Structure 1
Amino acid sequence: MCTPKAMQITIKETARMCGGKLLCGEPQKIISSVCVDSRQAQPGSLFVPLKGERTDAHIYIPAVFTAGAAAALTQEPVDGTTATGALISVPDTAEALQKLAAAYRRRFTGPVVGITGSVGKTTTKEMVALALSARYQVMKTQGNQNSQVGVPLTMFQLEPQTEAAVVEMGMSQFGEMARLAKIAAPQFAVLTNIGVSHIENLHSQEAILREKLHITDGFVAQSILVLNGDDKLLAGLRGKTPFRTVFVGTQPWCDYRAEAVRSEKGAMHFVMAYHGGRIPVSLPVLGAHQVTNALAALAIADVLHVEVPAAAKALSTYEPLAMRQQIHQAGHITVIDDSYNASPDAMRGALNVLCSFPHRRVAVLADMLELGSVSQEAHRHCGQYAARAGVDVLVTVGTEAATLAQGAAQERAELPVRVCQTNAQAIAALKGLLHPGDTVLVKGSRGMHTEEIVSWLLAENC
């Protein structure tokens, strides 16, 4: 990835900001973008070579200079006499990238909103940015660049015209959120929920909550944390935080509360009750979980002095991102593409969307990864939930999902279930299962590549 040409800092400033030493090159030359992919280097770029499991990107430093890059970081001994651009020596290129991003972010004086949670981070980020766009020029995380590399690169997208920033922040290991908080320094934050994603590494939901709360490490007196009041663990924080906290959800005590929630013609409709009164809201997506995401977006908009009716109007134009509950009409069937990722909470939400459709409902569900010791129980419970929710046909894909099939069969022995190991087997099974008028949900963890099934469904039926 290479950031847009939004920056204007000298090589000398860059070396100081990242704690490095300029080995060679012109100190006053301008850096206008940062990249970690050598193929995206361009004139004005700073190349940050990262060491991966398979490749040490330092080998691409000559290539980026050939492409016109202005400078490169290095943690390896190099011969600066052969370099055609500036070289900055640092102890660790990944840490230097984060230091540089943190220093660059401190130049921005507008509000920064951090978004985290086990499920719904990207969707909530998109909704918050959309709601804020009713008043501000907003910079937001592109896609799901929410990692130890993605968040720093996001910071470099801040431009002189940026008035507010919305930054998605993800973590899967102890200590990661604290590092991201130092980089992004959000003064406002949204915590969507606490599920079991990454519980293999973090061991318990309580530990996940503690880690995600590090998003508030840089909070100041005016900071506000927005929490999902329908989440049991988050609701337990009422009155227990050292900073202002507002709750969104359906509970009667929530500061921003959804009432009269209904789905109709592919959209969610509700009334938001809040301190300013009551306002109708319409979202062109399905799923009760989307209502909570929208409430968080409207709460942040209200906190940052956006007129709530204007923010609600902006949300009425929301469009889901690729592979996130996108609904396609493919010939005589409807396809719900939710293939980007999966966790137990997200799986249940997707099943609710599927079962809101009136015709024959086919669920294609693949492994949910990184669940550790709770994996079998989580898959079994999701299978039981699918059977109770009203799925008419269930196709599972993968080793772990076989337990999901068992849970469904335990709940409803007559439910037609096909157990597959691969996407190719699932496609073969679907060829003999699908009828005109069916609605098909496809969902699984990113590593299962269930978008292959979606691609076949769309190609086969369009």
Structure 2
Amino acid sequence: MKKTIKWTVKEIADAVHGTLNDVEKFGAIEISSAHFDTRQLEAGALFIPLKDKRDGHDFVAQAIEKGAAATLWEGHVAGAPTDFPVIFVADAHSAMNHLAQHYLKKTQAKVVAITGSNGKTTTKDLAASVLSQRFDVYKTQENYNNQIGVPKTILDMPIYTEIVVLEMGMDRPGEVESLASLFHPDVAVVTMIGESHIEFFKTRENIAKNKMAIAKGLRPYGILLYLEDEPLLKALSSQVANTITQRTFGFSPNATFSADQVEEFMHKTTFHLKGHAEEDEWEIPIPGRHNVSNALAAIGIGRSFGLDWSEIKKGLAQVDLTKNRLEWLEGINGVNILNDAYNASPTSMKAALQYFAHLKGDGRKIAVIGDMRELGENSAALHAALADSVDFATFDIVYLYGTEMASLYEVLSTQLPPQRVKYFAKDKMALVSALKAQLTEKDQVLIKSSFGTGLLSIVDDLRIGQGSSHD
């Protein structure tokens, strides 16, 4: 069902605190969507000229050619279109936030906001699947989880949306608190604290403070869910306003939503939920013990909205996952590829390596791991520390890629013979050639790295019927 937004240009001008160039002539024109990218723009849309690497004002003429019905325009920028609906604003990004706030109020959709160093995307997917058992739900698409992506998600949601599940990421201090304060979640979740973006935060304690600041934006009497197993979050929980209901999840028996008896398989993970019958086994179609923690968060979200256990269980079992997160793919020569090359931090890298090590299979286990980004002055030490998660007894060959992985190679090359650890600093083609020459039927291949390392192109090269180019 297509959304049926019908803003008028005058309504938008009022919502963004802007000035329409001709209210009488243009005020009643109807707008059906809002975009900042002309490649996605539809006829009848509002164009939002954001400034990033390029100035969006340079693309207004193109937006008009593609059928835009109106545009925002920052008042200090010269050259605004004439004889076309123009809403003058002080700042286009702020105006976009105001419009998203207006639309959220108009739909009266409830808001679930999810943050954390790892697990945000999987928890979002699980939560959306659970909640959709009873409600009309819209969730963050792809990686739109930043200062631009969150309001875009809201503006993209269908008008009949009852709950929007927002993933909130951060690169710099204050970003999560800012987003939560703009869009006031009814339920907020903090998944875990790792080392992602530690270059900008210096310590895990600072990361925890900035993630836990999501609670400051909660609606009065909202619900905060956080990982019981993380001491940094437990310590900060005492600073949360006493009007907020706090619940926890994790493997600790003290958690509100707790699991044990976890069993990991190639395409699923099973567990038992605290307080439920011994024979009542829960299942998620996702590999990895760490994803049970994400499922527990989703269970807590479902219960926060009054879903019964059977609805939650069904939602977990039929989740539609965002691509490139622990995704099994069929590869060349009959190999099985475990693709997790979209994101990586020391915590998620260790979790993936540990899951992969314990996985049963007939073929060899081959790990292809690339650089983890934005670790700052700690990068060399954090890469080297991954050696503790490389199971020498089960990993047949380890391929390392990227300049930062030199630190791990220095450690592993003293512990493994040359035929079991290979290092490629920059040459992806050489890495692909080495892999293709080595892979045989039933081999299991883990590919894990930060997105910027570019190992997704390696995934494409190793898949049947795929191909890609390399830098």
Query: TM-score interval w.r.t. the shorter chain?
Result: over 0.9
Where does residue 286 of structure 1 map in the other structure? 287
1:458 and 2:457 matched: no
Where does residue 154 of structure 2 map in the other structure? 155
| Alignment partners' CA distance in 1, 2:396 and 2:320 | 28
Where does residue 223 of structure 2 map in the other structure? 224
Q: Is the 8 A contact 1:69 1:85 kept in 2?
A: no
Q: Is the 8 A contact 1:387 1:408 kept in 2?
A: no
State the 1:335 CA deviation.
0.6
Give the secondary structure class of the aligned counterpart of 1:285.
coil
Q: Is the 8 A contact 2:212 2:233 kept in 1?
A: no
Q: Deviations over 1:69-108 (max 9, x none)?
A: 111111144455x535310111111121122212322334
State the 1:384 CA deviation.
2.8
Give the letter aligned to residue 104 of structure 2.
R
Give the letter aligned to residue 28 of structure 1.
A
Give the secondary structure class of the aligned counterpart of 1:442.
strand
Which structure 2 residues correspond to residues 56-455 of structure 1 after superposition, within 5 A? 56-75=55-74, 76-78=76-78, 82-237=81-236, 239-242=238-241, 243-264=244-265, 266-274=267-275, 279-330=280-331, 331-355=333-357, 356-358=359-361, 359-387=363-391, 390-410=394-414, 412=416, 416-421=420-425, 422-455=427-460
Q: Deviations over 1:353-385 (max 9, x none)?
A: 322133311000011010001111110111331
| Alignment partners' CA distance in 2, 1:126 and 1:213 | 21
Q: CA 1:105 to 1:393, structure 2 compared with 1: closer, same or farther past 3 Å?
A: same
State the 1:240 CA deviation.
4.9
Q: Which moved more, 1:236-245 or 1:329-338?
A: 236-245
| Alignment partners' CA distance in 1, 2:391 and 2:78 | 61
Give the secondary structure class of the aligned counterpart of 2:303.
helix
Q: Deviations over 1:143-171 (max 9, x none)?
A: 22101111011111343421111111111
Q: CA 1:401 to 1:84, structure 2 compared with 1: closer, same or farther past 3 Å?
A: farther
Q: Which moved more, 1:115-124 or 1:37-46?
A: 37-46
| Alignment partners' CA distance in 2, 1:205 and 1:107 | 38
| Alignment partners' CA distance in 1, 2:48 and 2:323 | 29
Q: CA 1:186 to 1:277, structure 2 compared with 1: closer, same or farther past 3 Å?
A: farther
| Alignment partners' CA distance in 1, 2:219 and 2:59 | 42
- Counting matched residue pairs gives 457
| Alignment partners' CA distance in 1, 2:446 and 2:320 | 18
Superposition TM-score, scaled by structure 1 size = 0.93
Give the letter aligned to residue 7 of structure 2.
I
Q: CA 1:401 to 1:34, structure 2 compared with 1: closer, same or farther past 3 Å?
A: same
State the 1:313 CA deviation.
1.3
Q: CA 1:126 to 1:143, structure 2 compared with 1: closer, same or farther past 3 Å?
A: same
| Alignment partners' CA distance in 1, 2:430 and 2:234 | 43
Give the secondary structure class of the aligned counterpart of 1:365.
strand
Question: Which of 9, 12, 28 matches 2:10?
Answer: 12
| Alignment partners' CA distance in 2, 1:13 and 1:64 | 21
| Alignment partners' CA distance in 1, 2:49 and 2:11 | 19
Give the letter aligned to residue 460 of structure 2.
S
Q: Is the 8 A contact 1:384 1:410 kept in 2?
A: no
Give the letter aligned to residue 11 of structure 1.
V
State the 1:9 CA deviation.
1.7
Q: Is the 8 A contact 2:124 2:166 kept in 1?
A: yes
Give the letter aligned to residue 34 of structure 1.
A
Q: Which moved more, 1:42-51 or 1:294-303?
A: 42-51
| Alignment partners' CA distance in 2, 1:251 and 1:401 | 34
Q: CA 1:435 to 1:95, structure 2 compared with 1: closer, same or farther past 3 Å?
A: same
Identity %: 33
Q: Deviations over 1:373-428 (max 9, x none)?
A: 11111101113311457322110011001212223345556771100023222112
Give the secondary structure class of the aligned counterpart of 1:217.
helix
| Alignment partners' CA distance in 2, 1:246 and 1:392 | 42
Q: Deviations over 1:298-349 (max 9, x none)?
A: 1110111011221111211124322111102324211111111111111112
Q: CA 1:361 to 1:293, structure 2 compared with 1: closer, same or farther past 3 Å?
A: same
Q: Is the 8 A contact 2:269 2:287 kept in 1?
A: yes
| Alignment partners' CA distance in 1, 2:236 and 2:393 | 31
Q: Is the 8 A contact 2:177 2:217 kept in 1?
A: no
Q: Which moved more, 1:56-65 or 1:105-114?
A: 105-114
Give runs of ≥4 in structure 1 deviating > 6 Å. Answer: 275-278
| Alignment partners' CA distance in 1, 2:429 and 2:159 | 49
Q: CA 1:6 to 1:176, structure 2 compared with 1: closer, same or farther past 3 Å?
A: farther
State the 1:114 CA deviation.
0.1
Give the letter aligned to residue 357 of structure 1.
K
| Alignment partners' CA distance in 1, 2:429 and 2:115 | 34
State the 1:275 CA deviation.
8.4
Q: CA 1:264 to 1:197, structure 2 compared with 1: closer, same or farther past 3 Å?
A: closer
| Alignment partners' CA distance in 1, 2:393 and 2:254 | 28
Q: Is the 8 A contact 1:31 1:70 kept in 2?
A: yes
Structure 2 gap segments, 5+ residues each: none
| Alignment partners' CA distance in 1, 2:70 and 2:181 | 25
State the 1:285 CA deviation.
1.6
Give the letter aligned to residue 32 of structure 2.
S
Please report the RMSD computed on the Cα atoms of aligned residues, expressed in angstroms: 2.3
